[in-house]
Amino acid sequence: MVLSGMSDMGQLEDNTSYMKEFVPLNGEEMAVIKNVIDSINSSISIACTGCGYCVEGCPKDIPIPRYFALYNQFKIFGGGSNSRGYYQNYAGAHGKAEDCISCHKCERICPQHLSIAEGMKDVAAVFDIEQES
C-alpha cells in the first residue's frame, strides 16, 4: 500500500493520532453545515461543473464554462468581482454570449443536462445587453 506523504510507521501514527479523540458532529453542528451548503448551492445560478465537453462543438466559439463561471461570480459578488472585465477579455477573443444561435449542440453532450442556450441569454443580459444600454 502507498500512503502519500508518509514514509514510515511513526509518521502514519502521528498523522492518524487525532482520530483517537474522534467525536462525530452533533445535530446542531450538522444543521450549521447544512445551512452553509444550502446557502452556497442557492447562490450558484448555473450549475456548470466546468468540464468543458461542450466547448469544442460550438459553432460560435463560445467559451461556455468560462461565461457561466463569470455569471455565477457576478450573481454572488456583483460588479465588484471584475467579472465584467474578464468577460470582455474572453469576448474579445471568442464568441460573445449574445452570439449564441440556440443550436443546442452543446446541450446534447452536457453531462449536467444544462439548458445552455437559455443560460447564454442570462449571461448576455448581464454582460452584453447591460453593457450596450
Q: Which is nearer to ligand SF4, 1 or 93 (CB)?
A: 93
Instruction: State the nearest-atom distance from the C-beta of 12 to ligand SF4, in Å.
Output: 38
Assess contact for 48 and 69: CB atoms under 8 A.
Answer: yes
Instruction: State the nearest-atom distance from the C-beta of 119 to ligand SF4, in Å.
Output: 8
Q: Which is nearer to ligand SF4, 49 or 89 (CB)?
A: 49
Q: Which is nearer to ligand SF4, 53 or 84 (CB)?
A: 53
Residue type, 21: E
Q: How far apart are CA 64 and CA 51, in angstroms?
A: 10
Rg (CA), the chain: 21
Q: Which letter does DSSP use for residue 132 in this model?
A: H
Residues of this chain that bind ligand SF4 (CB under 6 A): 48-54, 58-60, 62, 64-65, 100-106, 110, 112, 114, 116-117, 120
Assess contact for 114 and 123: CB atoms under 8 A.
Answer: no
